[in-house]
Amino acid sequence: MTDYKKLIDAETWAFIERTNSYYPPDTIDYTIDRQREIYDRMCREFSAGYPQGITAETTAIATPSHPIPIRVYRTPAPEAAAMVLYFHGGGFILGGPDSHDDVCAELCSRTGYEVVSVDYRLAPEHLHPAAFDDAISAFEWAATTYKRPILLCGDSAGGNLAAAVSHATRGHARRPIGQVLIYPGLGGDRSQGSYATHAEAPMLTVRDLDFYTNIRTGGEDRTGDLTLSPLADADFANLPPTVLITAQCDPLSSDGEAYRDRVVAADGHAFWLEEPGLVHGYLRARHTVGRARSSFTRIVDAVAVLGRGEWIW
């Protein structure tokens, strides 16, 4: 058994306990509607608001079948080097622009880049590949709307979508300039690594992951579907420069290592950093936990550097 009392510091434990007070560990046993109510309330409780000078516009991307809501964040004088297409976390069943509103606003403020948060369709109402299809549609929209390079970014489920888009758009004339994946779920081997050592981690367990995958696919076995599990891809060549930042106390952490190794083996640029003593969902702790604050600075720096077309790792 992993000794989390040694790995996790007091600040992070306080964050975990505060989160559990709003979002109990057994929340996946509730109805989907109730889970969304609980998650949305928790996100509101942790919201840090907007940095000074940041504005946001909520609009939508028109597609032949349905509109895709988006929220566009801007500084008074946007940095023109790149724009950021952001995909939120939430297990493919939770969240939206409101749940990650302050995160996107701060990312915009600290990098100067325009950030577009994508409100992709959620399961179970919309099974896989609905979220992936919306992510691709958002990329195509960005490629025709912006002349500046496109940087992909996402946390958890959103990291999965960002990576899947990177794999699918390698031949695109406007292929992404880079991707920053924050504790992403990439479809790694659940029999080893962090899936085994951190199967019962605070904030996210393997049981939670199984639940989310089952809901996303409607129970269908999609083994080998690289739009669902980017690590299932047989070809890791020509992917954009990639920075993966994971939490040590998280069953998904090994996905970052495995993805890094596959990209590097294909002669690409990838850097993986596992943040010691942190847990899944720590973006919400970036103002209260020193380790999370430092990690968010590293995330911001990675976005800023890749957006300039640079590689420093």
Active site residues: 156, 250, 280
Q: Report the C-alpha gap between 250 and 206 in whole angstroms.
A: 9
Return the DSSP state at 70: E
Q: Kindly state the tokens that stand for 41.
A: 């309330």
Token pair 């990690």 is found at 295
Cis peptide before 78 (omega within 30 of 0): no
Q: Kindly state the tokens that stand for 219.
A: 């129970």
> For the chain, where are the alpha helices, taking DSSP H only?
4-7, 10-22, 32-46, 101-111, 130-145, 157-168, 194-197, 206-217, 253-265, 290-307
In this structure, are strands 270-279 and 242-249 parallel, antiparallel, or unpaired?
Answer: parallel
Q: Report the C-alpha gap between 125 and 122 in whole angstroms.
A: 6
Q: Report the C-alpha gap between 203 and 247 in whole angstroms.
A: 11
In this structure, are strands 55-62 and 67-74 parallel, antiparallel, or unpaired?
Answer: antiparallel
Are the C-beta atoms of 153 and 86 separated by less than 8 Å?
Answer: yes
Are the C-beta atoms of 247 and 274 separated by less than 8 Å?
Answer: yes
Which residues, listed in sequence order, are joined to residue 279 by a DSSP beta bridge? Answer: 249
Are the C-beta atoms of 57 and 78 separated by less than 8 Å?
Answer: no
Secondary structure of 233-281 as H, E, C letters: CCCCCCCCCEEEEEEEECCCHHHHHHHHHHHHHCCCCEEEEEEEEEECC
